[in-house]
Amino acid sequence: MRRSLLILALLLLVACGPSEDTAQVVNLQSPFLGGTDGLVLGFQDLRQEVFDSGRDPFDVVVRLENKGESIVAKNNVRVKLSGINPSEFGKTETQLSASPSDDVIEVRKEPSGNTITPPPVFVEFTGLDHKNQLSGAQNQFIIRADACYLYRTKAVSKVCVRENILTPAPGGICEINADKPVVSSGAPVQFSNFKESTRAKDKIGFTFDITNSNNGHIYERNTACDASKRQNENRVYITVSTGVQGLLCTGLEATTKGAEGFVTLYGGSKTISCTQSISSKTDFEQLVNLEAVYDYEQSTQASITVKSSGEE
């Protein structure tokens, strides 16, 4: 008799436990590698000393490594050399600006968790040669390489929807008024500080920050990092998508997929505020997809010494 009662009690406990059919919980499993790098620049085997008088040509090779998770098409990146007078080294301004011959492939995370690291890509400036004779034994020059490239950041977070938004029942699968995880792809611009809150009986709200997390400069997409127009600076194109109709974000245009538009990062950061209308009468968590597209400019520099050849 006691054994039968024990078995009955265990069956009742199992029957009263949580049902997987009613709990729609989203677990973010780090879909990205993350990090704050995009392209990383460096000089490949740059000669430290050359001679004057047009008798010692040399090459400047710039190495581009994509440490982030957005591919850079070869026609969307431009490397420009500065710091030297082009004509003094036998070149024109046009000849000191070039794109790579191959796309700069991104770092990739496989479903298995393995990381695929791409090879570097090179931009070559050949046959530089100090044409004039120096006055003195030697002079030092700074060679700077600036790369402007189109890049994008993807991110994902989640919001909580409850049957009763204003006064949700205790013990639900999620909380509305709370900080939420947000995971960004590897890129110099990052999404962070995602927070959800109650707005009305049929509305939830969320805010997030978008930040320049590297030491480069942001420009509006497809402007070739043109700093002559101030309206191009610190401009990012943002897309917010929840997959649920009725999303409004301050400063962005509502679309069938969500909300999107340009924002300006003042002081390197911007907070976006959104309101989502809710018509459902059930508890669930909903993914929020974020994307930022922008031109990004980074640089590297090195010095070379031009020595006198001693020839008249």
Instruction: Quote the pLDDT of residue 5.
Output: 38
Per CATH, 39-150+298-307 and 151-296 having the same topology is answered yes
Instruction: Quote the pLDDT of residue 9.
Output: 39
Angle, vertex CA 63, rays to CA 59 and CA 64, nearest 5: 145
Q: What is the per-residue burial (b if ≥16 Cβ within 10 Å, else e) of 61-86?
A: ebbbbbbbbbbbeeebbbbbbbebeb
Instruction: Quote the pLDDT of residue 10.
Output: 35
Cβ count near 147 (within 10 Å): 26
Average pLDDT, whole number, for the chain?
Answer: 90
Instruction: Give residue-wise pLDDT tens across range 213-230.
Output: 999 999 999 999 999 988
Instruction: Give residue-wise pLDDT tens across range 153-189.
Output: 999 999 999 999 999 988 889 999 999 999 999 999 9
Question: In the chain, what percentage of residues exceed pLDDT 70?
Answer: 90
Instruction: Quote the pLDDT of residue 201.
Output: 95
CATH number of the domain located at residue range(s) 151-296 in this protein: 2.60.40
Q: Which residue has the higher pLDDT, 7 or 305?
A: 305
Asked which of 35-39, 140-144, 226-230 is least confident by mean pLDDT, the reply is: 226-230
Structure tokens at 233: 């600076």
pLDDT surpasses 90 at 270: yes
Instruction: Quote the pLDDT of residue 312.
Output: 56
Domain regions of the chain by residue span = 39-150+298-307, 151-296
Instruction: Quote the pLDDT of residue 22.
Output: 43
Distances (CA, A) of 11 to 1, 7, 67: 16, 6, 54
Instruction: Give residue-wise pLDDT tens across range 2-33.
Output: 444 333 333 333 333 333 344 456 666 678 99
Domain 39-150+298-307: give its CATH architecture. Sandwich (2.60)
Instruction: Give residue-wise pLDDT tens across range 195-214.
Output: 999 999 999 999 999 999 99
Cβ count near 115 (within 10 Å): 9
Q: Is 87 helix (H, G, I), strand (E, B) or coil?
A: helix
Instruction: Quote the pLDDT of residue 3.
Output: 41
pLDDT surpasses 90 at 113: no
